[in-house]
Amino acid sequence: DTEVTQTPKHLVMGMTNKKSLKCEQHMGHRAMYWYKQKAKKPPELMFVYSYEKLSINESVPSRFSPECPNSSLLNLHLHALQPEDSALYLCASSGDRTEDTQYFGPGTRLTVL
């Protein structure tokens, strides 16, 4: 099973709401990632977890809060977002070797009103 699943597929939220995006993989991968992709742009790395610990934070605003409850799950908690945060949020995972390929989920399409 080489699948990364993400829920929900679509999310609409107001600027005062709190919501969470979820990502799951059952490939035994040690690393999990969050990317943000604006329309017609390439994905931009946000966070990396390695062995359930945050290893990379690409200077992401604190209104985005990642969490890795266990080796299979990755959450992204959202609070007080701005309309410019509307984007496709992609989750990915990869195996033990740093040159290993990343497997991406289908993404969550987020709209902030």
Q: Apex CA 64: angle with CA 58 and CA 66, to 5°?
A: 80
Among 55, 57, 82, 111, binds another protein (CB under 8 A): 55
Q: Which of 43, 47, 37 is nearest to 86 (CA)?
A: 37
Size of the site for another protein (CB under 8 A): 23
Whether residue 8 has a cis bond before it, omega within 30° of 0 = yes
Site string for another protein, 30-49 (x = CB under 8 A): -x-x--------xxxx--x-
Cβ proximity of 49 and 32 under 8 Å: yes
User: With respect to another protein, which residue has the nearer C-beta, 55 or 82?
Assistant: 55
Which residues make up the interface to another protein (CB under 8 A)? 4, 31, 33, 42-45, 48, 50, 55-56, 90, 92, 94, 98-99, 101-107
